[in-house]
């Protein structure tokens, strides 16, 4: 399978890239700084550019069977850069131009209608400490749902850097049973969504088992 991966040097995106290459998929990643990519593989092609640049996004998606987006604000939690919402908008526009259909994007538990399953403490955190990234995701999600693409929005609970366990829970419309999950397990779930065509038109919450 030919995959276009955005946010490939972030925590989840790097795991998606690593696991996709381990499975033998052909991967194309968009990077501003190639020195941040620790992986090297003959099946990985690096496109230099920016997710806010039409030509860069076009080169990344060209010929892909599916697009996986793990865009995020990184450590910038105090200001909404809108890189997730604006970048995803451009990704979807290019997908439509090229006739690409399958899109799997990383959001977060507590975004969109999943806020209804959050605890009071979580809601306070989302509205204060994590206000900027959650606002960005809340701008992104409705546009993905209205895109007409074969979309899946993956909403992980609090992300950790633990090892891949393969043991994770998936829920839709109900509160998660645990409050954290490894980025490696989220990556596994996102790749399963692509490979097995799971959760099309749905927004599953992914959490540790």
Question: Kindly report the CA angle at 28 between 143 and 132, in degrees rounded to 5?
Answer: 40
Q: 80-134, pLDDT tens digit by residue? A: 679 999 999 999 999 999 999 999 999 999 999 999 999 999 999 999 989 899 9
User: Taking Cα atoms as reference points, which of 57, 71, 60, 55 lies closest to residue 104?
Assistant: 71
> Which residues are 208's β-sheet partners?
168
Question: Kindly report the CA angle at 189 between 188 and 191, in degrees rounded to 5?
Answer: 65
At residue 56, the pLDDT reads 98
Task: Check: CB of residue 77 under 8 Å from CB of residue 130.
Answer: yes
At residue 79, the pLDDT reads 63
Task: Check: CB of residue 51 under 8 Å from CB of residue 94.
Answer: no
Q: Residue 201, exposed/middle/buried by CB under 10 A (0-12, 13-18, 19+)?
A: exposed
Task: Check: CB of residue 68 under 8 Å from CB of residue 16.
Answer: yes
Distance CA 11, CA 54 (A): 24
How does residue 77 score in pLDDT terms, banded at 50, 70 and 90? low
Using a cut of 0.85, tell me whether the model's pTM lies above it. Answer: yes
* Average pLDDT score over the chain: 95
4 vs 178, which has greater pLDDT? Answer: 4
User: Taking Cα atoms as reference points, which of 117, 136, 148, 159 lies closest to residue 79?
Assistant: 136
Q: 150-197, pLDDT tens digit by residue? A: 999 999 999 999 999 999 999 998 989 889 999 999 999 999 999 999
At residue 80, the pLDDT reads 65
Instruction: Report all structural domains of the chain as residue ranges with CATH numbers, in order of start.
Output: 2-208 (3.40.50.720)
Element (DSSP H or E) covering residue 68: strand 66-69
Distance CA 193, CA 197 (A): 5
Q: What length does the chain have?
A: 209
């Amino acid at each position: 399978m030919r995959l276009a991966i955005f946010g490939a040097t972030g925590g989840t995106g790097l795991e998606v890239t690593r696991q996709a290459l381990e499975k033998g998929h052909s991967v194309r990643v968009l990077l501003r700084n190639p020195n941040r990519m620790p992986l090297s593989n003959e099946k990985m092609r690096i496109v230099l550019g920016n997710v806010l640049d039409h030509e860069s996004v076009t080169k990344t998606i060209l010929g892909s069977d599916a697009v996986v987006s793990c865009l995020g604000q990184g450590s910038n939690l105090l200001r909404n850069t809108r890189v997730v919402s604006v970048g995803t908008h451009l990704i979807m526009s290019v997908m439509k131009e090229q006739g690409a259909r399958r899109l799997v994007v990383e959001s977060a538990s507590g975004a969109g209608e999943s806020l209804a399953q959050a605890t009071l403490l979580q809601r306070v955190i989302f509205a204060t400490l994590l206000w900027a990234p959650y606002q960005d995701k809340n701008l992104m999600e409705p546009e993905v749902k209205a895109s007409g693409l074969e979309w899946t929005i993956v909403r992980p609970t609090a992300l950790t850097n633990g090892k891949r366990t393969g043991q994770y829970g998936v829920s839709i419309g109900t509160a998660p049973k645990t409050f954290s999950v490894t980025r490696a397990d989220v990556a596994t779930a996102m790749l399963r969504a692509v490979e097995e065509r799971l959760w099309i038109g749905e927004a599953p919450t992914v959490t540790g088992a």
